[in-house]
Structure 1
Amino acid sequence: MMANPPGTLLFDLDGTLVDSAGDLSGSLDTLMAEKDLSPIGIATGRQLIGHGIANLVRNALKLRGESEDEGDIAIDLARFMDIYASRLTRLTRPYPGVVETLEVLKSQGWSMGVCTNKREKFATSIVEDLGLSRFFEVVSGPDTFGVGKPDPRQLSEMVKAAGGRHPALFVGDSEVDVAAAKAAGMPVIALTYGYSKIPLDTLAPDALLSSFGDVPQAISEIMSKSR
């Protein structure tokens, strides 16, 4: 156990806890095929992930030269949601070390939650399907509190929903995650294997890791500096 009573740990989902690129890219490719457009593919799909499903679909269509008419995009977005809902965890899996590390953190007494820009119902289904729900008090998307990252209110509302225990730390993989945590006044641990669009070291997170298994040690070091 940690010397001081632990508080709240919040985690991003895609690119942090789970690799969802296969199912997101596969859903995009199904949508493209239905529209007689060339596939996006997983490599490009990975580059588009991280700013919510609406931006994912919008940017994929833009790559294929599709009109940005809001009415058309709304129809395509609704269709994408139906496609994705049918295959949320066909290929999506936790990253190496995630389950074992969450077990350690849970045993230390941390309250934990998932804070993602994926819709809450999708995030909750993924967490449940992959056997991760036992670790988390709450799962939120941008539709849960009416705000999404990088708006810091999603994180502050999550801390309250998870029991209001402080200190609170955030673990993510992208520039959106770092920005949200900094705006919320939370220490942030950034993981380099995810879907960031820019080099994370340029954003000065409190810790920069290449392995999820290193998260507990990073938390201990951050906590010791704050005492």
Structure 2
Amino acid sequence: MDRDTPLRIVFDLDGTLIDSAPDIRQAANTVLAREGVPPLDRDEVQSFIGNGAPVFVDRMMAARSLPEANRDRVLDAFLDLYETAVDLTTPYPDVIETLARLCADGHALGLCTNKPESPARAVMQHLDLDGFFDVVIGGDTLPRRKPDPSPLLAAFHALGQGAAIYVGDSEVDAATAEAAGIPFLLFTEGYRKAPPADLPHAARFSAWPDMPALLHYAHVR
């Protein structure tokens, strides 16, 4: 296949395109204050992100020894705040310029995140990212979420035919790409917990302007 042929490129959101930990932390700590327990620090919040809002809340509750009987109330309160948690979130440097370049080059772009679809769309609209993507798959769009490969495969299916590559930042993203049989580009400045060498990936990058030069890995199996 011609390496100049436009690709299907799907991205993770939190920790990949955007630094959303400050907003997630604010929502979490608002809920924890109502429960009468100490707040989470940035490192705790970042370590809990990646498997979707329900798992985040489970980890948050465990970290503050909140009783399981409170889970429904705590989850509902967190999700209510999470819907509009956009004010402290920022794109990583050069993300917007890189997405614009990829679109100008004719690539089809999609998003596959474990963030619930409604807050994902809200923050994308707030940051003017929504116009870049032809498909958005959130953590609650389908019955299963990453690392199950079905959301990622659904995103690629919606983008049509052609070589494919997935871009993410975490262990969850690496496992999802591996399960789907899709080449994976690792953004190293996000929310991963393990060293980059421990995550299966075709290539990695730390600055967004360097990412387009790695697209040839879409043709490597």
- Normalising to structure 1: TM-score of the pair? 0.92
User: Is the contact made by 1:85 and 1:122 (CA closer than 8 Å) also made in structure 2?
Assistant: yes
What is the distance in 1 between the residues matched to 2:155 and 2:219? 24
What is the distance in 2 between the residues matched to 1:224 and 1:10? 15
Aligned to 1:133: 130
What is the distance in 2 between the residues matched to 1:123 and 1:14? 9
Secondary structure of the residue aligned to 1:144 is: coil
Equivalenced residue count is 220
Aligned to 2:17: 17
1:188 aligns with 2:151: no
RMSD, aligned α-carbons = 1.4
Deviation at 1:165, TM superposition (A): 2.3
What is the distance in 2 between the residues matched to 1:82 and 1:201? 37
Unaligned ranges ≥5, structure 1: none
User: Is the contact made by 1:29 and 1:41 (CA closer than 8 Å) also made in structure 2?
Assistant: no
User: Is the contact made by 1:8 and 1:111 (CA closer than 8 Å) also made in structure 2?
Assistant: yes
Unaligned ranges ≥5, structure 2: none
Deviation at 1:224, TM superposition (A): 5.9
1:108 aligns with 2:105: yes
Secondary structure of the residue aligned to 1:106 is: helix
- One-letter code of the match for 1:186? I
- One-letter code of the match for 1:90? D
Secondary structure of the residue aligned to 2:59 is: helix
Secondary structure of the residue aligned to 1:195 is: coil
What is the distance in 1 between the residues matched to 2:112 and 2:88? 21
The structure 1 segments of at least 4 consecutive aligned residues displaced by more than 3 Å after TM superposition are 223-226
Evaluate the alpha carbon distance shift between residue 3 and residue 150 of structure 1 in structure 2; reply closer, same or farther with a 3 A threshold: closer
1:76 aligns with 2:74: yes
Deviation at 1:68, TM superposition (A): 2.4
Aligned to 2:121: 124
Identity percentage of aligned residues = 38
1:179 aligns with 2:179: no
